[in-house]
Amino acid sequence: MDINPFQPGSGQMPPLLAGRDAAQNDIKKLLVKLDLPSGVPSDVLLYGPRGIGKTVLLQWLEEYCIEEHKCRVLPIVPSDTMALKDQLMEALDTPQAQVTTERSSSLGISLLKALVKRTVVQSSQARSLVSFLIDLANKKPLVLLVDEAHTMPAKWGRELLNVSQDVRKKAPFLLVLAGTPGLRDCLLPMKATFWIRTNKIPMGRLTESAATDAISTPLHNEGISIDPDVLTQVVTASQCYPYFIQLWGSILWDAAKEAKCDQIDQALLDKTRGAFDYKKGMLYQEYYEELKQQHMVPVALSIAQAFEGREAISDIELHDTVAGKHVGVNPPDIVLETVRELRKLDYIWQGSEGSVWHPGIPSLMTYVQTEAQNLEPDNSSALAGAWMHPQGALALKGAWGDLDDQVVDNLMDEIYEARRIDKGRPVEMGN
């Protein structure tokens, strides 16, 4: 049975990792420094919107480190329930046991796993985590890969950053953090300010050339050709967004196999558009629900209108657009919180330019405009300010002056209760 080489949304390595040469080269240059006495100068921060291919790049990095640099690689994901030290011990245990017990009996496997785990934990308990990792890295260069780093609890993340800095000074060690654009906001409260000097590698959409290769080359390798004009249409529809590229590849491969043909022409493409649009719509619906849950739809709609016909807007324009939705609210405080929340939701993000903002998920803003057409242009536009800031909620009474007092009180009660549940703590009402 033929297996579809395209696996959209799985986090698995695509059939062709295209368009990431710059990021790969940046990382390769750092890995070379692992073997130098001076070591790697800083950690790596890999960030970009969901579906952009961060997890895939981490998989490539893991394979490259092992094959080309003979490093020990520890891939982990932040945990709310497990301490950093325990996670590292678990990561150290698993690969050692798997490698050593390939030809052992099932009883031998269990005993050896228990022995390895006990030995590792006992050796680490005898000294600090830093000294343990220093000894480990001096025996074999150590690379720690943290995926979903934007979910790091503050205490967990602070310990990780401090450990990395201390270990890197005395041993060949590299920490790579991968997460959404909200990762930078996640790091700020940790007060480990040296992370600002990390090697930041933003990951955006692919070039048209790379997107073309990512679709056509795997199909060609499967004995399937695609008409040039059809390929252009597919690349345009994918918006060079890695998840959409893999989704198109998967749909076209399935259609070709079902039709038992080795040529994707206009007729076959037309038959598959509905499947792509449906899955794209389901994705957008999930993102839109996230915006609704955070009461961000009115602000998101204004930003979408500011982006119409443009690929980017300036920092000043974005903040002015957000400020315009917070009637009667102190703009600087509320605007910054709202922008952070929208970045956390991948609605907007910044690449290497710094002062320029781009849409996070391609054409999501168009979807927001379509879905928000039924929203009444009334007091609901100020809900985001109330949600983000308790004093902002009080200021909204000015914006709701034309409503009955009882209606206003009920709305205020809903805002405070929703915020209390979401944040896990009561909101001070103010004077």
Over the chain (431 residues), the average pLDDT of each successive run of 10 is 89 94 94 85 92 96 92 93 88 48 36 42 59 93 95 91 92 95 85 75 96 98 97 97 97 96 97 97 95 91 94 92 65 81 94 87 94 61 47 46 54 54 43 36
Query: What is the CATH number that goes with domain 21-202?
Result: 3.40.50.300
| Residue 277: predicted pLDDT | 97
Percentages helix, strand, coil for the chain (3-state, rounded to 5) are 60, 10, 30
Phi, psi of 345 (to 5 degrees): -85, 5
Q: Is 223 exposed, middle or buried (0-12, 13-18, 19+ CB in 10 A)?
A: exposed
pTM: 0.80
The predicted pLDDT at position 352 comes to 78
Q: Report yes or no: 51 and 183 within 8 Å, Cβ to Cβ.
A: no
CA separation for the pair 133, 137 (Å, rounded): 6
In b/e form, how buried is each residue of 99-127, taking b as 16+ CB within 10 angstroms?
eebeeeeeeeeeeebeebbeebbeebeee
Which residues partner with 72 through β-bridges?
Answer: 142
Q: What are the residues facing 145 on neighbouring strands?
A: 75, 176
CA distance 240 to 101: 44
pLDDT on residue 101: 27
Cα 295 from chain centroid? Answer: 21
Which two structure tokens, joined as six digits, stand for 305? 């209108």
Q: Which CATH architecture has domain 294-423?
A: Orthogonal Bundle (1.10)
